Amino acid sequence: MAFEIPVLRDDTLLLRPHTMADLDAVHARCVDPLSVRWTTVPLDYTPEMAREYLEIISVPQDNTVSWALDVDGSYAGTIDLRFQGAASGSLGFVVSPEFRGRALMSRAVRLAVNHAFGVLDWSVVTWTANAGNVASYKAVWRCGFPQPIAVPYLLNHRGEMVEGWISSLASGDPQEPALSWADAARRLPAVPGTTE
């Protein structure tokens, strides 16, 4: 089933379909060191790869809807929902470097999750990230996602199965944090290979 890409917005954040005007900004965030570390973006990412990516995600896709975050006309990141069956799906996102630290992605998560529960009629949205990706968890923590569980060998990261964090939000759950960020951060699972 192809999912349409509706325009969603709050006061100053717009979620919209990607366009070729996003090409340079998408390429820049795909070669950013933090994006390379925490996502599965191909290494040695080229502008042509960005063009091919945009050609795919800028139109309705089977079982996936992808939005560009737009702030005052500038591309600020990407967020998507991926249908997994049984009225559920997963959430994925990445923020452009110059827009980090503004809680923009939490606002995008809230818009996307409400679309999933409302328009798409999903009952559960699940977030996953490589173990240790605290910034990614903070984005969903603001929207009520509970403390993540650490699962060994959960995610395929460039051909290696690595430990991941996973958290799910159900349609009836509160969309506000259950804990302060200080308490939530203290309770995050230990990351393999690090010392506390």
d(CA 94, CA 17): 15
Please report the domains of the chain, with CATH numbers, ordered by start residue: 2-186 (3.40.630.30)
Q: What is the chain's alpha carbon radius of gyration, rounded to the nearest angstrom? A: 16
Which tokens go with 117? Answer: 């529960």
**Which position has the token pair 């560009």?**
68
pLDDT, residue 50, reads 98
* CA torsion angle 18 134 177 66 (round to 10): 10
- Determine the 3-state secondary structure of 90 from DSSP: strand
Hey, which residues does 3 pair with through a beta bridge?
A: 61
pLDDT, residue 191, reads 86
pLDDT, residue 106, reads 98
Regions of the chain short of the pLDDT cut 50: 196
CB 153 within 8 A of CB 166: no
Amino acid at 40: T
pTM for the full predicted model: 0.95
